Structure 1
Amino acid sequence: MSQRSDIEKDVNASISNKLLVICVDRDNDVGEKAGITTPVIGRNACIDAAQRLALEDPEDADSNSMFAAIKTYEDLISKGYQVEVVIVAGIKERGVQADEKILKEIKKILEVFSANGAVIVSDGEDDESVIPVIQNVLPVVSVQRVVMKVSRSVEYSYAVFGKYLKMLAYDSKYSKFFLGVPGILLLIGGVATVFGYTEEIFAVLVSILGISFVIRAFDIDKAWSNLTRPTPMGFIRIFTMVAGILLILSSIP
């Protein structure tokens, strides 16, 4: 019975804690793009800041972090916590000066709302790098990272990329060059290494790779297949080519 009462006391004590939901904008997009001075304190003020930033730059992830911080604030309120939501920002160049500015803003907020715990909401590691700075003045009880859902265009790009990879792997028209040539090079290199020809094999591999590129670039393989077709025109082409080569060789002194 006493153990149960102790647990209830701990739960009640945690609910009575004053938490500060902090949205961190280390590079100060909210100030640079939306012209808002930080710190921004309170739900309505944070909503206004997030909306203004979203209107100025709809692709900026910081506005999503701000809305996520407001959502976290509302969730904690519904669970009985004493909470305030704020937005703090550094400077565009980040670095030490940005961290100092964020620290000053946190101290200024604590003068208005004496929290004893912080919930950090950010959109990436850069904003989260200020957590040790915040911990100097306020214990951090939770860190929430906002991950944006992938857009349809990105999903489409991945699908197209996967389609081409599959084509390179399973379509013989492409795989014999993109997989066959590297496979031959690796095989020759492995065999040469076993027999101790590591120095000479580099020149051989580069030569094979160069010949493959030349053949593919100038469609020499297609031209050769046309020449060797068993047709009257094919035989004429072969005869003409051989005769031309012989004439060139005979003209060399």
Structure 2
Amino acid sequence: MRVLVLAIDRDDDFGKKAGVKGPVIGREACIDAALKLSLADPEDSDANVVYAAVKLRDELEEKGEFDEVEVAIITGHPKVGLKSDMELARQLEEVLKVFPADGVIPVTDGAEDEQIFPIIASKVPIITSHRVVVKQSPSIETTWYIIVKYMREILSDPEVARVVFGIPGLMALLYGIAKLVGVWYPESEKIVSTVIWGTVLLIIGGIFFTKGFN
């Protein structure tokens, strides 16, 4: 069985940013294309998709479960929709002429690229698919670390914790109770939404009040 690992770039970032024209076929050619895109735009996730596709191709070849494994990139068009999908279909046919695969494994970075799966399946069976999730940037990790750090510092100081968490929590707690009590009056409207909001405020207020006053 001949398997094609297929990296998909529906909006043609390779062409727009790196001047790479699709399709790109072969391990070395794909790595070269990904490197060009990485240099042109280090934040573009499509380069990671290609690296992941090459890695998957190498792993499958090493396992030896298939007779032959190849990797390729197909690129669409900046105007995502009919035009890009027609271009992807054309490039896929070109790839299949060079490497007549019996099955394909699409590699994407999101749901947008996955919308062309029916087009791929109409030409060659899809064995499975692989979505690349890029890890969060260090700046986001740093921001989260700072938030957690200051939260711990606030909670470690009883006086500050009462002001920052305890009093707001008490207010939310009382307001939530008032909302739930008000449901039982005949003139109350939108009972369901009132109960939901009252319950949410009760829970959040209770957590903040408990944390603030230890």
- Indicate the residue corresponding to 1:239 in structure 2: none
Instruction: Spell out, residue by residue over 1:11-64, the C-alpha distance to the aligned partner (whole angstroms, 9 max, x if none).
Output: xxxxxx111110011121111000111111112211211111111112211112
Counterpart mapping for 1:157-236 below 5 A: 157-193=143-179, 194=181
Counterpart mapping for 1:99-118 below 5 A: 99-118=85-104
Which structure 1 segments of 5+ residues have no match?
Answer: 1-16, 200-253
Instruction: Spell out, residue by residue over 1:81-111, the C-alpha distance to the aligned partner (whole angstroms, 9 max, x if none).
Output: 3122110111223223222221121122112
- TM-score (normalised: structure 2): 0.75
Matched, 1:126 2:112: yes
- In the TM superposition, residue 74 of structure 1 has moved relative to its aligned partner by 2.0
- In the TM superposition, residue 168 of structure 1 has moved relative to its aligned partner by 4.5
Larger helix proportion, structure 1 or 2? 1
Q: Secondary structure, in 3 states, of the residue corresponding to 1:110?
A: helix
Counterpart mapping for 1:45-56 below 5 A: 45-56=29-40
- In the TM superposition, residue 65 of structure 1 has moved relative to its aligned partner by 1.3
- Indicate the residue corresponding to 2:126 in structure 1: 140
Equivalent-residue separation in structure 2 for 1:32 and 1:86 (angstroms):
18
- Larger Cα-atom Rg: 1
Counterpart mapping for 1:58-137 below 5 A: 58-80=42-64, 81=66, 82-137=68-123
- TM-score (normalised: structure 1): 0.64
> Which amino acid in structure 1 is aligned with residue 167 of structure 2?
V
> Which amino acid in structure 2 is aligned with residue 178 of structure 1?
V
Which structure 2 segments of 5+ residues have no match?
Answer: 189-214
Root-mean-square deviation (CA, aligned residues, Å) is: 2.4
Given that 1:167 and 1:174 are in contact with CA atoms closer than 8 Å, whether structure 2 keeps it comes out as: no
Q: 1:26–1:192: structure 2 CA closer, same or farther, 3 Å change rule?
A: same
Q: Secondary structure, in 3 states, of the residue corresponding to 1:141?
A: coil
User: Percent identity at matched positions?
Assistant: 40
